[in-house]
Amino acid sequence: MAHIESGGSGKRTGVDLNLVPFIDLMSVLITFLLITAVWTQVSMIQIGSSLYSKKSGDKTTPLTPDMDKIVRVDIRQDGYFVTIGRDSHLIVRQGEIFDTPALIEMLKKAKTMFPDKIDAMVAMDDDLAFDHLITGMDAVLKSGFPKISVASGGI
């Protein structure tokens, strides 16, 4: 039991603290946190293996890339730098706008050259906005390369 002193008179008044609402609130919050913890795991991206590695059990076995069939898009300050096999092309940026339709067209030509290829790599300069990476990934996906690998650490 808690008490409150009423100043100089010396009287004590008894006050009971009701902790039941506080306990109810904590039980609801704990339940909410436990339920939402599952959703954070569902939204994670699995990056256990890279573009040129094969996951076997708990070990990752590196594969040697076929340099004649590599498809890579580097998003740079001056535009898209596309590597298809051993050829490289620069799609120049027009002011603030990247030429995404030209990128899609070039990647569709790469898909006709390598119809069985399903993977591609996208890399971006660190000082560009994140939206450019998403736009580049969308272009690669629209061109027929569903397995996209994102290279980290800039170009």
Length of the chain: 155
Q: Is the pLDDT confidence value at 151 over 70?
A: yes
- Identify which of 7-16, 26-35, 44-53 has the greatest average pLDDT: 26-35
**Are 121 and 78 contained in the same domain?**
yes
**Are 33 and 94 contained in the same domain?**
no
Residue 35 banded pLDDT, cuts 50, 70, 90 = confident
Domain count for the chain, please give it. Answer: 2
**Are 29 and 105 contained in the same domain?**
no
**Are 78 and 134 contained in the same domain?**
yes
Asked whether residue 51 is assigned to any structural domain, the reply reads no
The bridge status of strand 79-84 relative to strand 87-92 is antiparallel
Q: Which of 62-66, 77-81, 118-122, 151-155 comes out lowest in average pLDDT?
A: 62-66
**Are 75 and 10 contained in the same domain?**
no
- The pTM is what? 0.57
Residue with tokens 């050259």: 113
Asked whether residue 129 is assigned to any structural domain, the reply reads yes
Q: What is the CATH number of the domain that holds 131?
A: 3.30.420.270
Task: Give which of 81, 147, 74 is closest to 116, Cα–Cα.
Answer: 147
Asked whether residue 155 is assigned to any structural domain, the reply reads no
Digit-coded pLDDT (tens) for 46-81: 544 444 555 555 555 555 556 667 899 999 988 999
**Are 111 and 72 contained in the same domain?**
yes
* Rg from Cα positions in the chain: 29
Digit-coded pLDDT (tens) for 92-108: 988 888 999 999 999 99
| Range(s) of the domain holding residue 27 | 2-42
Asked whether residue 116 is assigned to any structural domain, the reply reads yes
For the segment 7-17, the average pLDDT, to the nearest whole number, is: 68
Residue 114 banded pLDDT, cuts 50, 70, 90 = confident
Q: Is the pLDDT confidence value at 146 over 70?
A: yes
The Cα 86–Cα 88 span in angstroms is 7
Asked whether residue 54 is assigned to any structural domain, the reply reads no
Q: Tell me how far apart the terminal alpha carbons of the chain are, to the nearest angstrom.
A: 67
Asked whether residue 49 is assigned to any structural domain, the reply reads no
